[in-house]
Amino acid sequence: MKVMFLGTSSGAGKSVLTSIVCRHLHRDGVKVTPYKSLNMSRRSYVLPDGREMGVAQALQAWASGIDPDPRMNSILLKPQGAGKVLTLVGGTPWASDSPDRREEMFQMAMRHYHSLREGSEAMVLEGSGSPVELNLMAQDIGNLRTARATGSPVILVGDISRGGVFAGLLGTHALMPKEDQARVKGFIINRFLGDASLLESGIRRLEKETGLPHLGTMPLLDLNLPEEDAGGTGDHLSNEAREPWLRDIDLLTDVAAENLDMDAIMRIMKGC
């Protein structure tokens, strides 16, 4: 069982939906593991041994009922200011003079993925930013290439609170290569505030244009989940936040049960 959430942009809600599905599976007694091959964030979660990983993947691990593991966020890029970026692979600083540095990182990321999958019944993957940045697609290892390498079906997520959600979902799907379009199994509209029936005509048009089903609309909720890019560089989050975060994820999982077609999402995962 596996699925990958891709977004129309950064901040579309991929991390939260990954957490929700992990929590849903954990509640059902399924051994589930979150995974994100590449993440860029100024904030990190620091393990007792000093290794670092994206804070969202730490939350997803807790939602899954397991301890955070840097393999869940294979590559972490931490902006340091003045155009400098600290690269961590498997939680530790990584430097390579190889001309195939990016390829070397990707192969390491796939080794992490397969080692995690060995002990799991389900994998819930998350992309990074937009999967169709035209100037970056050829070298992007965090989105479509990860979906291909892991054989993951994809669910597209769009944030309606920013406006333009239908254009974002339709455009993201249209800009994907045909082989990747075939991986997409449905779309979710995130952070809606108001009467969901107002979206019906747009949803029907989007389903017709893409041939994809609408898997639900998540409402906008006022929660205290961590923002990966908040705070200054080198900002770390600790275990103290675990319980309040999990309360929010439990609330979101309950809300998702009422607003998302979780049965369809589970069928998508089982169809791999």
Q: What is the CATH number of domain 2-35+102-231+242-270?
A: 3.40.50.300
Is the pLDDT at 110 greater than 80, yes or no?
A: yes
Name the pLDDT band for 224 (thresholds 50, 70, 90).
confident
- Asked if residue 109 lies in contact with residue 146, where contact means CB atoms within 8 angstroms, the answer is yes
Which of 8, 74, 78 has its CA nearest to residue 38? Answer: 74
| Mean pLDDT, range 22-41, rounded to an integer | 97
Question: Among 12, 264, 28, 66, which Cα is nearest to 153's?
Answer: 264
Angle of helix 242-259 versus helix 14-27 axis, rounded to 10: 90
Among residues 14, 24, 23, 13, which one has the least CA distance to residue 262? Answer: 24
Q: What's the token pair of residue 221? A: 């909720």
Residue indicated by tokens 């999402």: 265
Q: Dihedral of CA 108/109/113/116: which sign?
A: positive
Q: Is the pLDDT of residue 43 over 50?
A: yes
Give residue 234's pLDDT.
46
- At 97, the pLDDT band (50, 70, 90 cuts) reads low
Q: What is the pLDDT of residue 151?
A: 97
Confidence of residue 238 (pLDDT cuts 50, 70, 90): low
The Cα–Cα gap between 58 and 36 comes to: 11
pTM above 0.85, yes or no: yes
Q: Where are the alpha helices (DSSP H) in 132-241?
A: 144-150, 165-175, 178-181, 200-210
User: Cβ–Cβ contacts within 10 Å for residue 150, how many?
Assistant: 18
Residue 150 in contact with residue 183, Cβ under 8 Å?
no
Paired residues of 43 in beta bridges: 235
Residue 222 has a pLDDT of: 81
Helix extents (H) in 91-143 = 101-117
Q: Which residue has the higher pLDDT, 153 or 98?
A: 153
Give the pLDDT of residue 263.
97
